[in-house]
Structure 1
Amino acid sequence: MYRRIAADIRRRIRDGDWTIGQALPSRRDMATEYRVHEQTMRLTYDLLRRSGVLDGEKGRRVTVAHPPAVRTLTNADLPWPYSTETTDTRPRPATEELAARLGIRPGVMLHHETVECLDPGGHSAMIVSSWWRGQRRPHTSHVVEVGTAPLTTEQAHALGLLVGMLAFRLMRTRLDEGGAPVETADLVLPVDRWLIRLRSR
């Protein structure tokens, strides 16, 4: 329910019901308007804050935020220049897809790391999940496949978006000097916050 209300508030902001910097009604008033419990509106406002639609601290009035910056990705192997949060480091067995990307057998245990990349305003801009076998090794090159994929529940929650929304999915595989894969990663980028621009060398 709170995700549906959040989507409706996004629509109302686009339609001009509230403008940038303008305060929204209190949670109590909005709960009355949408005929839901005040806790539902708390979840709604929290979601809209995480996604950068609203500004304001918990328990205080919230205002319409400036739209999230649209960034351009030209190199999927550059380090993230702002803050990050590591959210998961549990080892994982290699799926068929990961095994093919790393040139190993399915089921082999892999090291894993999921990192949430935050923009200067503290909003989640990208999620990077990496997998590798043994110790992390240096790489000399990388290859990237670009596609789209629906957001999982965890990804949508972190990005402040709806489950199932399409996002860019960049499958990056790092290679050693001999061209063998040493690490692979999925970079998940919200389509409303990113442009992908490929450059020739």
Structure 2
Amino acid sequence: MSGEAEFRRIAADIRRRIGAGEWAAGQVLPSRASMSRGYHVHEQTVRLAYDLLRRSGVLDGEKGRHVTVAHPPAMRTLTDMDADWPYSSETTDTRSQAATEELAGRLNVPVGVSLHHEAIECLEPGGRSAILISSWWRGRRRPHASATAELGAISLTEVQAHALGLLVDSLAYRVVRTRLDAHGAPVETADLILPLDRWTIRLR
């Protein structure tokens, strides 16, 4: 069996053992050395299995340290696309960007014009990332009177997947939110990326 197939097989078996109740949420798993002896493989193979399970949200813990069984992510319901996030958040990028054709259409500005940009990672109370928000606007940031939203799905990029602790190409909700002034003109647009395993969307 190839090395890649071997660590994926081990990851699947660890997932099965967790599901069977051998290890409970929050419990520390055996060390890589101990698991490698149990599975009769190199320690590196177990490390790869642990890394895969960590990225997919089954395990918690830093690389090179003890890993624990992750608590299931909280399922939240998003009802107001324009509401402020009630918990902590981190601004991860504020570099300006040139308007792509899509952004130009959303903001009614020329293609290539310089836009202000802000990327924010919204965190759950336990510290896990819940939403990634990228916003764009031209000139001074102005207040808005209303907002529109379009809901779709995307495959996560490497950067998005890393931030959310998921696998690349995992599916996520994508909410395109555009804020409008009192005359209905767009003043800001944003992409909200929400993991499917942590959210339901309620339209009203």
Residue of 24, 35, 44 corresponding to 1:37: 44
Contact 2:56 / 2:167 at 8 angstroms: preserved in 1? no
Equivalent position of 1:98 in the other structure? 103
The root-mean-square deviation of aligned C-alpha atoms, in Å, is: 2.8
Q: Deviations over 1:139-169 (max 9, x none)?
A: 0000000000000110000000011111000
Following superposition, the deviation at residue 193 of structure 1 comes to 0.3
Within the alignment, does 1:132 sit opposite 2:133 as a pair?
no
- Deviation, 1:57, is 6.1
Gaps of 5+ in 2: none
Contact 1:51 1:123 in 2 (8 A): no
Structure 1 unaligned runs (5+)? none
- Residue 198 of structure 1 deviates from its aligned partner by 1.2
Aligned equivalent of 2:192, options 187, 190, 198: 187
Stretch deviating more after TM superposition (53-62 or 22-31): 53-62
1:4 shift after superposition: 5.4
Distance 1:152 1:15, change over 3 A: farther
Name the residue aligned to 2:125. 120
How do 1:2-151 residues align onto structure 2 when only pairs under 5 Å count? 8=12, 9-10=14-15, 12-14=17-19, 16-30=21-35, 33=39, 35=42, 37=44, 40-41=47-48, 44=51, 48=54, 53-56=58-61, 60-151=65-156
Partner AA of 1:119 in structure 2: E
Corresponding residue SS for 1:171: strand
Q: Letter of the aligned partner of 2:120 in structure 1?
A: V
- Give the alignment's TM-score, normalised by structure 2: 0.83
Cα separation, partners in 2 of 1:106 and 1:6, compared to 1, 3 Å: farther
Residue in 2 that maps onto 1:167:
172
- Other structure's SS at 2:117 match: strand
For normalisation by structure 1, the TM-score amounts to 0.84
Distance change in 2, residues 1:5/1:188 (3 Å): farther
Shift of 1:41: 4.5
| Percent of aligned pairs with the same amino acid | 63
User: What count of residue pairs does the alignment treat as equivalent?
Assistant: 196
